[in-house]
A and B are shown apart, each in its own frame.
Chain A
Amino acid sequence: MLELLQLTLDGLLDGSAYALVGLGLSLTFGGLRRLNLAYGATAMLAAYVGAWLHARHGAPVWLVAMSVVACAALIGWYVERLCFAGTRDETIRPASGPGAPVAGADGREVVALASSFAIWMQLEQLAVNLLPRHLNLFPSLAVERNWFVGELMIRPDRVVLALVSIGLTLGLAAWLERTRTGLSWRATADLGTAAHLVGMPVPKLQTIGFAVACALSGIAAFLVLSLDGQVTPMFGMWMLLKGLVVAMLGGLGSVRGVLRGGLLLGLVESYAQALLGAQGREFATYALLLAVLMWPRPMREERAVSSGVTR
Chain B
Amino acid sequence: MSTAVADSPIPASDAIGAVMQTIRNALGDVLGLGDVAGAHLVGLSSDMAIMSMLALSAYLMLLVGRVSFGQQAFFGLGAYAAGVMTAMFHAPLAVALAVGVSLGALCSWLLAVPTMHLSGLHYAVATLAFGEIARILLGWWVWQRETGDGPVGPAGIDGFRDIRWLLENDVAPSEFLVLTLVLLVLVLAMLMRAERTRLGVALRMTGHDDVLASSHGIPVARIRQFAAALAGGLAALGGGLYAHRTTYIEPAVFDPMLGVHAVGYALLGGLGTALGPLLGVMFDLGLLDASRLFPGWRMVIFGGLVALFLRWRPRGLLDETLVHRLNGFRFFAGSVRAASPLSSGASNPPGRKEISS
Contact = CB atoms under 8 A, between A and B. Distances in A.
Name, among A83, A101, A117, A119, the residue most crowded by chain B CB atoms within 10 Å (CB to CB): A117
A107 B206 CA distance: 12
Contact of A290 (B126, B302, B349): B126
B343 to A, nearest CB: 10
B8 interface: no
Interface in B285-330: 296-300, 302-308, 310-312, 314-315
A2 interface: no
A105 B119 CA distance: 10
A268 B121 CA distance: 24
A126 B349 CA distance: 36
Interface in A79-136: 82-83, 86-87, 98-111, 113-126, 129
A286 interface: yes
B136 A286 contact: yes
B267 interface: yes
B17 interface: no
A286 B303 contact: no
A108 B120 CA distance: 10
Contact of A83 (B157, B307, B347): B307
B314 A118 contact: no
Interface string B336-357: 0000000000011110000000
B307 A115 contact: yes
Of the four ranges (under 10, 10 to 19, 20 to 34, 35 or more), the interface on chain A belongs to 35 or more
A179 interface: no
B306 A102 contact: no
Contact of A82 (B311, B314, B348): B311
A279 B140 contact: yes
Contacts of B9: none
A81 B57 CA distance: 31
B96 to A, nearest CB: 28
B208 A104 contact: yes
Interface stretch (B48-56, B59-67, B186-194): B59-67
Interface of chain B, helix or strand or loop or mixed? helix
A200 interface: no
Given A101-B314, A103-B348, A286-B129, A110 B62 contact: yes
Contact of A102 (B263, B264, B314): B314
Contact of B307 (A110, A119, A290): A119
Given A110-B267, A113-B124, A286-B133, A279 B139 contact: yes
Nearest to A86: B311
A110 B120 contact: yes
A282 B67 contact: no
A293 B310 contact: no
Interface in A232-262: 237, 241, 244, 248, 252
Contact of A99 (B121, B129, B157, B311): B311
Given A82-B311, A118-B304, A290 B129 contact: yes
B306 A129 contact: no
A287 interface: yes
A283 interface: yes
Contacts of B120: 105-106, 109-110
A286 B129 CA distance: 5
A244 to B, nearest CB: 6
A133 to B, nearest CB: 14
A228 interface: no
20 contacts: A98-B350, A99-B311, A99-B312, A102-B208, A102-B314, A102-B349, A103-B208, A103-B349, A106-B65, A106-B120, A107-B314, A113-B121, A118-B305, A122-B303, A123-B303, A125-B298, A244-B128, A286-B129, A286-B130, A290-B130
Given A35-B121, A125-B297, A293-B126, 13 more contacts: A101-B314, A102-B350, A106-B65, A106-B120, A109-B120, A110-B267, A117-B263, A118-B310, A129-B300, A286-B132, A290-B133, A293-B125, A294-B115
